[in-house]
Structure 1
Amino acid sequence: MSDHHPRDESRRLRVLIAGDTFPPDVNGAANFTERLAVGLAGRGHDVHVVAPAATRKHGTFREEHGGATLTVHRLNSTRWPLHDWLRFATPWMVQHHTRPIVDSFHPDVVHIQAHIVIGRGLTKVARDRGIRVIATNHFMPDNLVEHAPPMPKKLLDWIAKRAWQDAANTYRHVQALTTPTRKAANYLEEATGMHGVYAISCGIDARDYTARLDRPRQNRIVFVGRVTAEKNIDVLLRAMTKLSPDLDASLTVVGGGDLLGKLTQMTVDLGLADRVTFTGYTSDEELRHILTGATVFAMPSTAELQSIASLEAMASGLPVVAADAMALPHLVDPGSNGYLFTPGDSDDLAAKLTAVLTQSDDDYVAMRRASLKMIEPHDINRTLDTFEKLYRGEPVAAQAADAPSGRESTAGARGGSSAG
């Protein structure tokens, strides 16, 4: 499959980005999709987005996102009854609704952010028209299963296996497949039997965050993310009960979700009501203020393909204590910018938080500096550079911070078969 125009790095691209979640949804995939669209538009590219309608109102709108005005095609959607905000476009109508969008916009490339609903249908439409398709996988079956009715583990495992097979059925037809980290790429390759997955950081603009140069007077632990089961916030709450009272540590949980009420009650039951604050959803400005004033960031989740929240914390100069699971180990250099703890082990989490909070002032400040240094390879401009090359079918070297050095592929020569 070839591009419609000769190679020209300065050529303005028409990019159609599609995903099953997009702001006002608040989650990592939605945030990345928005940041990618805004970044590309800022470079002069013509960017359209296809996403489920956030309400019953659907159609094509001009929307403000991150200081940019984007054309967003909102498809008719239905709310998933077991989730507080998740909405899905009508699967059997996706191709019908996206054909006119593609035929009117004439994109140079389609970039899907998931295979589940919109990405699946739009990939078929793009293939029929000979349009290059790039896919980024943010999907983890664990995240989906959490919102399914209770069922036996064997059945859940079978569903997860089938879910990965289903993902491969779409991804084998794209020209390049990416995911945020090398660990996630290896996991995706093993789960789907595919090869040549690119590890490309979701990227953030570290200039948006402020890191203080000293140590906060109070020991403030912060978590940022959806308040849902896969984040394992209950482990963090139990760890709070094991911290020495002498530390006088508090916890701020930033985010909303279906477990907000249950976990709020849990803090009461554990005697933590005066030490734990649930902010719910906040503005970007409020979030950055909380991060700047915090002492340490905690991420107990075991299903992170990268964890943008952890990157934001590092850009704010925070030491990170994270579960030793999935992609999180790639963000933590134990003893340098934080520590890893055994997943699900509240005793170990408490011990690692204590290790940070009892550092000498000099050693603590050194941890802050280490986080700031480690965030540099995750600059959003590096991410945008890489995707621009993939869009044009140019050779791309793996550029994620955790990718093995020297790994290089030729995106333009990959074709659909090499991704599947």
Structure 2
Amino acid sequence: MTEEPADKPLTILIACDTYPPHLNGAAQFGFCLAQGLHGRGHNVHVMAPRPDNGPSQSETGGPWGVHRLRSHGVPTHEYWRICLPWEIKKHISMLFDRIKPDVVHIQCHYMVGEHTLYEARKRGIRVIATNHFMPENLDPFLPFPKWFKRIVARNSWRDMGRVMSRAAVVTTPTPLAAKAMTEYASLPDVLPLSNGIDASAYEPRPGEEIVRHEHPTVLFVGRLAEEKHVDVIIDAIAKTPRELNVHAEIVGGGEVKAALIALAVKRGIRDRVVFRGLVDDEELRLAYLRADVFCMPGTAELQSLVTLEAMSASTPVLLADAMALPHLVDHGRNGYLFQPGDSTELAGRITEILSLPAAERDAMGRHSRAMVEPHSLEGTLSTFENLYRGKGSLAGIP
């Protein structure tokens, strides 16, 4: 019998509970993972909730298969969808029969990830599990008192451990997240593995001239949600010296946008805060390149791909001292951390960076770019390929 080559293309099923057109880090990672693996010659399929109402169906015409499961909207979120087990389990089983995956990679322990894992285990198929979730991400969408949210958080951690403990390997983007999963979900040997980024995509192109803003500008990119604390940026801009004429550019949409606009009006700086809404990839790249400073005030970031994107564009950063964000700051060299929610401290740091000579700000930006190198997307894809094939130090986890 002739043995198959060890590096033959794999059929990979990626199970996501959020996927484009959803706009969040987990959805973006699922897309980039599928795109990268497809580019390496693998047969890739993605399973994810439908972004609208209707029966389960497979989308055709794309470079890889995308299989949408029947889903339902939730009243507290503008786009999040949930799948009910009794509506998706049969369809998941039918997709396994049709796709015949060599390996399954789940992106969450919720409905789609959980039942895809169960089906794979039943068939003896290798499962890799990646966690992009922290219980704090749910807080803005649970209209309950804090004591009840704490119960929900404990149950979420327990469920994560129950589901992901059945995977061959468990990964998460940062060492801090891995430590939290070990402590709260009782998951040993969680592998910290960056989501990865193609930093070259955010650099100026050969011969390209970047037209900077007329005014010093602080950029935020992300979903306008409570846990992102974009109000701290608006308050901070209002506290900077008037003669600096600092502006803010806010890219993204979300449930708190109206409240943020009202805050800018109240603080008397509506003319200095630009809400761009959702933009395409090229406009986003230019936003990073034009910005003088990038700010992420969020307190529930597992890695913050948008911060890595800004750093790839050689932009200094100001980040809340919370969750995984401290890993992306070399104090004073590429930016600063600030106390979460402290708009006065943030205003001081904005003023400090924007008052530097241009050469010193450029040096901070170059250091940001250098710090992105360990987060290479190619390195992340190579590691996942090894894990899919049962290679690597954690490959023997039962």
TM-score range, shorter chain: over 0.9
Instruction: Give the letter aligned to residue 279 of structure 1.
Output: R
Aligned equivalent of 2:134, options 116, 140, 160: 140
Task: Indicate whether 1:105 and 2:99 are aligned.
Answer: yes
Alignment of 1:3-402 (within 5 A): 8-57=5-54, 58-62=56-60, 64=62, 69-149=63-143, 151-211=144-204, 218-395=215-392
Tell me whether 354-363 or 268-277 shows the greater mean CA deviation.
354-363
Task: Indicate whether 1:414 and 2:393 are aligned.
Answer: no
Distance 2:83 2:100 in 1: 22
Q: What do residues 271-302 of structure 1 show as CA deviations (whole Å, max 9, x unaligned)?
A: 11100011111111111111111100000001
Distance 1:178 1:122 in 2: 17
Is the 8 Å Cα contact of residues 295 and 319 (structure 2) preserved in structure 1?
Answer: yes
Shift in Å, 1:124: 0.6
Is the 8 Å Cα contact of residues 251 and 275 (structure 1) preserved in structure 2?
Answer: yes
Instruction: Give the letter aligned to residue 361 of structure 1.
Output: A
Tell me whether 85-94 or 256-265 shows the greater mean CA deviation.
85-94
Is the 8 Å Cα contact of residues 214 and 365 (structure 1) preserved in structure 2?
Answer: no
Distance 2:394 2:292 in 1: 42
SS at match of 2:23: coil
Distance 2:370 2:95 in 1: 43
Instruction: Give the letter aligned to residue 364 of structure 2.
Output: M
SS at match of 1:173: coil
Is the 8 Å Cα contact of residues 210 and 290 (structure 2) preserved in structure 1?
Answer: no
Q: What do residues 71-105 of structure 1 show as CA deviations (whole Å, max 9, x unaligned)?
A: 11100110111110111122333321101111211
TM-score for the superposition, normalised by structure 1 = 0.90
Distance 2:210 2:231 in 1: 31
SS at match of 1:203: coil
Match of 1:402 in 2: none
Distance 1:73 1:52 in 2: 8
Distance 1:114 1:8 in 2: 31
Is the 8 Å Cα contact of residues 20 and 113 (structure 1) preserved in structure 2?
Answer: yes
SS at match of 1:82: coil
For structure 2, which runs of at least 5 residues remain unmatched after alignment?
none
Shift in Å, 1:9: 4.7
Instruction: Give the letter aligned to residue 23 of structure 1.
Output: P
Deviating runs (4+, > 4 A) in structure 1?
5-9, 211-217
Is the 8 Å Cα contact of residues 50 and 71 (structure 2) preserved in structure 1?
Answer: yes
Distance 1:260 1:124 in 2: 39
Distance 1:296 1:9 in 2: 46
Note closer, same or farther for the CA distance 1:6–1:287 as it changes in structure 2 (3 Å cut).
farther
Shift in Å, 1:213: 9.2
Is the 8 Å Cα contact of residues 195 and 375 (structure 2) preserved in structure 1?
Answer: yes
Instruction: Give the letter aligned to residue 59 of structure 2.
Output: F
Shift in Å, 1:411: 2.5
Shift in Å, 1:131: 0.4
Match of 1:406 in 2: none
Distance 1:34 1:80 in 2: 23
Note closer, same or farther for the CA distance 1:17–1:6 as it changes in structure 2 (3 Å cut).
farther
Is the 8 Å Cα contact of residues 84 and 258 (structure 1) preserved in structure 2?
Answer: yes
Give identity over the alignment, percent. 44
Shift in Å, 1:350: 1.0
CA RMSD of aligned residues (A): 1.7
For structure 1, which runs of at least 5 residues remain unmatched after alignment?
396-409, 416-420
Note closer, same or farther for the CA distance 1:247–1:183 as it changes in structure 2 (3 Å cut).
same
Q: What do residues 39-79 of structure 1 show as CA deviations (whole Å, max 9, x unaligned)?
A: 00000000000000112243011254xxxx11111001101
Q: What do residues 187-238 of structure 1 show as CA deviations (whole Å, max 9, x unaligned)?
A: 1211112111111111111121125899866311100000000101111111
